[in-house]
Amino acid sequence: MPHARNRNPSPIPEVTWDTGLKEMNETWKGAIACLGVAIFFVMTIGIIYWQVVDQPNKNWILRGAFSGLIWERRTHSLVIQTLTEDKTYVEINVGNVGNPDLEVPFVRNLCWLNKTEFCYTWDSVAEVKISLEVDEDQETECYNMVWTPVHCHVELTDCFSMSNISWYGGANVRGQTWPINDQNATMQPFIVSDLRDNPSRFGSALERYFLGSSGVAVLVPPDVPLQLELDSGQQFCLQSLPSMERLPLQYTVCVAQNVKAVHQEAAQLLSPDARELPNLKTLWLPFWKLLASVDSGPKVERELRTFSNRLRRHQLGEGVISLNEHSTTLLSEMDHDYLNGRKKGMSDTLTRDLPLVKLLNISVTVSPFLGVDTPQFHTSLEEGNEDFWLSLPSGPQGQLIPVMSQWQGRFCVKLNVTNPGAVSWFLDRVGSLQAHLGMEYVVLEGSEGNLFEEQALRPPEALTGDKYISLLADLAIKMGDSTIMTAGTRSNHKPLFVRMTPLQSDWSSMGLKGIIPSLLHHTLLGYNFLIPDAVGGSLSDSLVTDKELFIRWLEVAAFLPVISFHTPPWVFGEDQVLNLTRSYIRRHQSDVVPLIEKFAEEWQITGNPIYRPMWWLSPDDPVTFTIDDQFLIGDEMLVAPVLERGAVRRDIYLPDGGFQWQDSRDAQVFDGGTFLQDYPVELGEVAVFLRRS
């Protein structure tokens, strides 16, 4: 019989597995719980460390073909850089994300399914949607930014850094600079004002367009209410208006290889309509302002006769004699039978006795204002045409009440350009002037400002912001292609001339030194056909007495689209001034006008400005970004006038571009990229260089 083995020889008592597991669970239960708490605590510390310490300061939220948009969490900034991070196009300080002293964590794209869009909501303050558009043909990438407030009465603000970037564009200001980095302006509505009455506001020309030397352009849609602030050397800020309607802050940022490339693309967005040329015959004739303090039409005519005789006696050639609105009104109120009288049956020998109003080139001045003490205004009320004037209802169903304002020291009403009947009435009035006075040129003043907003009144939707100026420009076109407006916005494609802001009669940036920055500003915004301020400045309405200032101003004016005079050269009583005036008028007609006409055709096709900054030929040369005392006419002529009192030498920089420059005075030739120090330019001369291949 086989041996039977003892199953439990060990003295240790037998224990079942179930009992052991239960005892083990009880034993380790507290330890496992403590371990779980410890792991959770370590993970929490790690996440906090990642969020606060180890998280990178920036993250890419959109990427294009060569650029990308970065969120800088510590500075609350959106930054557009090249993908290789070797170039920063622009840094936008976002003022819409709450407390600036707190770091904003990583942002998460709520539109992650679309690789060209970014969406986010910040602190229940504002929602942002950014979309990327890539134009491979133009090598340009555009970021469309739309901030929408979550609540009413929220002001949204984005600020664009001026650090290492020269900025251009925006609006003309008193003491214009090029670039605009040195300008200051408090936060205010971004609309055109009359700088003579409001020197701290924005003037004409104005467009919602800003250009940076790094190759960046900022465009704001025309119908988005906008405020602007300029903080000298630091930043410029765009701000929405607080409203019950939760108005957005919306703009587009485009980037390209350099400043010229991005401007050429942005110009198409700025002016998408077909560009039309005004009457270029206007460029050939100097404009002479008639200074006459008279109180009747016949006296105005007598002053015209005297002034015309002086122009002929001093051999200053044919020109346009400009009448202000007061003189225009006096002439229009003359007996038309007198104006046309004695013409029938007169011999040629008596032609000189005809009213010179019809024999001379004159320009008249009109405005959309009408005095409340005039018969025309009372007639409009009697005929029930209150809506011919900017008006507001007296109540929900009340009668229209014209809004009163002041113009030229009189209480007036202003033409309602949204009313076809009012527009027809105004055009008939101008047509009657043209028929009786025979003038070809009309200056249309008084478009600046928003009559409603200036009086804290809510304007009709059709007349918010600067819409009045744009509509008045449409009216001006119907008056002829030689019409001159005193303000330009949303109208750079229209066949009109724009008169530049009057300047002081001095050597400062508000006088002579302000001409070239203002010229470059206008043409960058698309306003190439300009009537510059008069030689010597006309802001004070008094005659210029500084002969040197007059001559140096004349030297600049000869190379502008039109030469205009407020102070006639014979008041100095010297042959030198008269001879220089004749000489520069001839030079303007022989050298400058043909060049303008040539590049006007290029502008019409491409949108390239006729008058160009130095960086146009050398867009990657930082030296050219801040040159504010030289300009180009097309790509062929460089003009470097003397702008300092008593100076007979000046420094000149000739931009590089693989070509040479030849001095028009002595035929000296210099390589592009040359800096000419203390280059001689005597009084009566201006340094002009012609490009050679």
Please tell me the predicted confidence (pLDDT) of residue 395. 78
Range ranked top by mean pLDDT from 120-129, 388-397, 565-574: 565-574
Tell me which residue of 228, 81, 223 sits closest to 157, measured CA to CA. Answer: 228
Condensed to tens digits (0 to 9), the pLDDT of residues 446-474 reads 999 999 999 989 999 999 999 999 999 99
Q: Which of 12-21, 203-212, 352-361 has the lowest mean pLDDT?
A: 12-21
Where does the pLDDT of residue 2 fall: very low under 50, low under 70, confident under 90, or very high at 90 and above?
very low
Please tell me the predicted confidence (pLDDT) of residue 75. 85
Share of the chain above pLDDT 70, in %: 87
Q: Which of 1-10, 331-340, 658-667 has the lowest mean pLDDT?
A: 1-10
Where does the pLDDT of residue 103 fall: very low under 50, low under 70, confident under 90, or very high at 90 and above?
low
Going across the sheet that includes 611-612, the strands are 611-612, 631-633, 637-640, 687-692, 660-663, 669-671
Please tell me the predicted confidence (pLDDT) of residue 56. 60
Q: Measure the CA–CA gap between 124 and 142, rounded to whole angstroms.
A: 27
Q: Which pair of tokens denotes residue 492?
A: 């750079």
Share of the chain above pLDDT 90, in %: 72
Tell me which residue of 266, 166, 213, 260 sits closest to 617, measured CA to CA. Answer: 260
Q: Phi/psi at 625 (nearest 5 deg)?
A: -70, -25
Which residue type does 446 have? G
Q: Which pair of tokens denotes residue 237?
A: 């800020």
Q: Which of 114-118, 129-133, 197-201, 571-575 has the lowest mean pLDDT?
A: 114-118
3-state secondary structure of 122: strand
Please tell me the predicted confidence (pLDDT) of residue 10. 44
Question: 420-437 and 467-478 helices cross at what angle (nearest 10)?
Answer: 40
Where does the pLDDT of residue 152 fall: very low under 50, low under 70, confident under 90, or very high at 90 and above?
confident
Between 355 and 430, name the one with better pLDDT: 430
The pTM of the full predicted model, rounded to 2 decimals, is 0.89
Residue corresponding to tokens 């929602």 = 127
Q: 106: which DSSP letter?
A: -
Q: Are 239 and 228 in contact (CB under 8 A)?
A: yes
Please tell me the predicted confidence (pLDDT) of residue 341. 47
Mean pLDDT of 276-297: 94
Please tell me the predicted confidence (pLDDT) of residue 1. 39
Q: Which of 13-22, 55-64, 413-422, 596-605 has the lowest mean pLDDT?
A: 13-22
Condensed to tens digits (0 to 9), the pLDDT of residues 341-368 reads 433 443 443 333 335 566 789 999 999 9
Helix boundaries (H) for 341-466: 375-382, 420-437, 451-454
Task: Work out the angle at residue 290's Cα, subtended by the Cα atoms of residues 433 and 476, and round it to the nearest 5 degrees.
Answer: 40
Please tell me the predicted confidence (pLDDT) of residue 105. 55
- Cα dihedral 469/471/472/477 (nearest 10): 130
Condensed to tens digits (0 to 9), the pLDDT of residues 623-654 reads 999 999 999 999 999 999 999 999 999 999 99
Q: Say whether the peptide bond before residue 487 is cis (omega within 30 degrees of 0).
A: no
Condensed to tens digits (0 to 9), the pLDDT of residues 497-554 reads 999 999 999 999 999 999 999 999 999 999 999 999 999 999 998 999 999 999 999 9
Q: Measure the CA–CA gap between 503 and 223, rounded to whole angstroms.
A: 31
State the chain's maximal CA–CA distance in angstroms: 169
Please tell me the predicted confidence (pLDDT) of residue 292. 83
Q: Measure the CA–CA gap between 618 and 616, rounded to whole angstroms.
A: 6
Mean pLDDT of 224-244: 92
Mean pLDDT of 81-87: 95
Please tell me the predicted confidence (pLDDT) of residue 42. 60
Q: Is the pLDDT of residue 54 over 70?
A: no
Please tell me the predicted confidence (pLDDT) of residue 162. 97
Between 565 and 356, name the one with better pLDDT: 565
Which residue type does 85 have? E
Q: Are 661 and 690 in contact (CB under 8 A)?
A: yes
Please tell me the predicted confidence (pLDDT) of residue 342. 39
Tell me which residue of 152, 174, 325, 336 sits closest to 240, measured CA to CA. Answer: 152
Q: Say whether the peptide bond before residue 242 is cis (omega within 30 degrees of 0).
A: no
Helix boundaries (H) for 383-466: 420-437, 451-454
Please tell me the predicted confidence (pLDDT) of residue 416. 98
Where does the pLDDT of residue 309 fall: very low under 50, low under 70, confident under 90, or very high at 90 and above?
very high
